[in-house]
Structure 1
Amino acid sequence: MEEYFERRMKFVTQGGSINGILKGFDEENEVFKIIINKEEFNLDVNDVLEMIPDSFTSDSLTSDTTSKTTSTNKTTSDTTGKTTSTSDTTNKTTSSIDLLVNQSQYNEILSLAFTKFGPTREEFVLCGAQNLLKLLRLLLKDSSNKIDIVLGDNSLYNSIGLTLARLSLLHGFDVRVVGNFEDIESLKYLFIFKQNGGSHSSRVRTTTDFIVNTSEDKEIEVDESVGGVVSFGVPSTHPVSYLVCFGASIYEKVKDRDYFYLIDVMIPEKIYCQYKLTRLGMRPAKKIKPNA
């Protein structure tokens, strides 16, 4: 995140676009500090659908942006509600020609991030879960409330799933974590989830509205009455299914998909450049066509 401080940015919200200079990020209050026409404003991070560096957009700071900033000091959406409106987060489709890597390269990218350039593992997990939650709130129907998150064998993905479960609780969802795991790293996330009132079970509810499968290689049987399935690894055969990748897309997993969603986890540009990857702005989730 720090590499974007003092840079001109375009912030896309449900109410329109705001152009300004990013001065900082207040983690405690979850607000961006931005400068517009020499005045500082706070912008709620939950209202931001996309952040685009000035070098990626032809938009400039003009006087008409000031009219859009009057609401930036206020919360513009109910954080306990869900929206069914369509946004740039889900509608824009991007070619993945510069976004594909193999499994070995993906592991190298994670290693560079976690040990040298950032984000740390904890930051990766939190950012991935927050941006996935934004996507889920757009994919879910207005009446959907129950989410079952199925754990797998990947410690990193389990951590994201458990953090997603905790955040979903805070946003008013009825969330259940399903499955057992042996990795110690995920236990602390499960503990925190339970301390917030979360439920842990051995099986998916027959009445659940939506399922998130964090497993890399195991598909789960899902009744067609379920509203949809989000998978981290193996795509579901459910009629309404979505595949997500974090930071970069692994070719072997996405090659046969019509599209998938790439979740932003704040991997720095210097890592992307090392693998000749292109970062197209900072949308929480980008819709990608793997063969475009």
Structure 2
Amino acid sequence: MTRAHNPQLNQHGELRHLLTPEGLPRDVLLHILDTAQGFVSFGSREVKKVPLLRGKSVFNLFFENSTRTRTTFEIAAQRLSADVFNLDIQRSSTSKGESLLDTIANLEAMDADVFVVRHSDSGAPFLIAQHTPPHVHIVNAGDGRHAHPTQGLLDMYTIRHFKGDFSNLTVAIVGDIVHSRVARSAIHALTTLGAAEVRAVGPKTLAPDNLRDMGVRVCHDMAEGIRGADVIMMLRLQNERMSGALLPSAHEFNMTYGLTPERLSLARPDAIVMHPGPINRGVEIDSAVADGPRSVILDQVRFGIAVRMAVLSIVASAESQA
């Protein structure tokens, strides 16, 4: 996908929607990370607001349950001085059969500027973006098994904060990759930013067939996958998205792929451990690791506010040309 034909960019190459890291140029990703760096310290300030989105309306449309993503988007928009509206999906007209696009059209009539959309159907934010006028901006907060771009970007910010230049890094992504929109977004961002090696670690039943085509090294042995890694990104087992017997049991997964202190010792001594949450303790990761000195899981949450502030401020300031 070229810059000129990327639906996420306007005719000047500015980010007008954030739907997926896939296809976004390296300079666009770095611009988001650099902008986020200026927002990281806001949480410790006495006055935590800036007027960048004053007068703008941000609508959070979460058709799937969420804690971290929804809350951090709300905090991010409020810190930018936007007017924030959270649609109660269970009580909205969508529960009465109204189509997604009709719901969006009605909210547009209420002068919405930005829609933050989380949906169980892959492609839903793309569909919305195709049917909104140029002055309305869409941010994907997770769609089905497809993409979770702001999680991918906050993970990139976290990695860069602790490890520096991507070109020297080996990153191991471990667990349920086939169902993980987080993994897909992270892989696209890591390869665009020039990570030295990206490894996908997990059982064959939870690894997509096209990983090697994406420049990823596939490892079905946990020791091989994390040995010498600079970054270990653990993923949640997404039982709600699984069909059929993809795993013998959560206990069996833990015995083979769970991150224990012993397995962590195979990585580099200064390796960091990440997890997008929510954590299944004792399944994909032991508490001793999740709460240990090499865990940056809570830093990911903290940086997530700054990254989402950056994304909202950038898309909302893009000129209104398609």
TM-score by length of 2: 0.42
More strand by share: 1
More helix by share: 2
Higher relative contact order (CA 8 A, sep 6+): 2
TM-score by length of 1: 0.45
